[in-house]
Amino acid sequence: MELYQEIQEPMHYRVVARQFGLSDSATYDMLRLLEQKGLVNSAYAVPKGSSGPGRPNILFFPSIEATALYKPTEGNSRGEQEWQEVKARILDKLSRGKESEHQVLIQELAAKMSEQCSPLVRCAEVITTLMLKFKETEDGLTVSEHISKLLKVPADKLRMSRLAGLITGLSLTSKKQRSISIDYESYLRKYEAGLQKLGRESMEALHQFTRDVWYAMNAVPQE
């Protein structure tokens, strides 16, 4: 239901499979089972951009029964409130421009890493921690320009994944190390797992948040 509400159109089963990290065949079988139970409808459609008759795609969408059962208001409101609170807290500390605030923020985020939260919040917390660790070990490197370039292009999962990998690699290869260390491998696993669950709107929200964090850390006016 949440994925359908983001995309706002019937979905091919491969779209659902990619979203949840499942095989195409397993996803197709589960959607057919949900259809048998009256929770999903299917329809055939000619692929977009097709200039002639071709094999139609089978698309799936929630049934009226599923829509009636779904209770989004409380959960979505709670999730949105959590996201807004996390954003405000992180950006407030960064806007003060004090290194001591950055250290406190890293410690706070590390303490929260075992708590349950939405994929968007988890990705935001991890990417903030990675960028803060990179900043403290930067050692005058000019490679931060590459990070800025990645943040200026449109958001997608591949670029956001590359961004986290780049920041981690630069931090680990720096000669400058400080006292607060993190388990980079564990952080990246959590980030990638959360990233794969994000829909289009959440991905764009994460991308904008990451830009805000990066500019706040570097005190560079946004273009």
**136-165: pLDDT as tens digits:** 776 544 556 777 777 887 878 888 898 898
The Cα 158–Cα 138 span in angstroms is 24
Q: Answer yes or no: are the C-beta atoms of 173 and 88 closer than 8 Å.
A: no
Least confident stretch, 17-21, 56-60, 141-145: 141-145
Instruction: State the pLDDT at residue 13.
Output: 92
**Whole-model pTM above 0.75?**
no
Evaluate if residue 124 carries a pLDDT over 90: yes
Q: Walk me through the domains of the chain, giving residue ranges and CATH numbers.
A: 2-69 (1.10.10.10), 74-218 (no CATH)
The Cα 61–Cα 65 span in angstroms is 11
What rounded mean pLDDT belongs to the chain?
80
Instruction: State the pLDDT at residue 223.
Output: 44
Token representation of residue 24: 């195409």
* Residue environment code for 136-174, b if the CB has 16+ CB neighbours within 10 A, otherwise e: bbbeeeeebeebeebbeeebeeeebeebbebbbebbeeb
The Cα 120–Cα 82 span in angstroms is 10
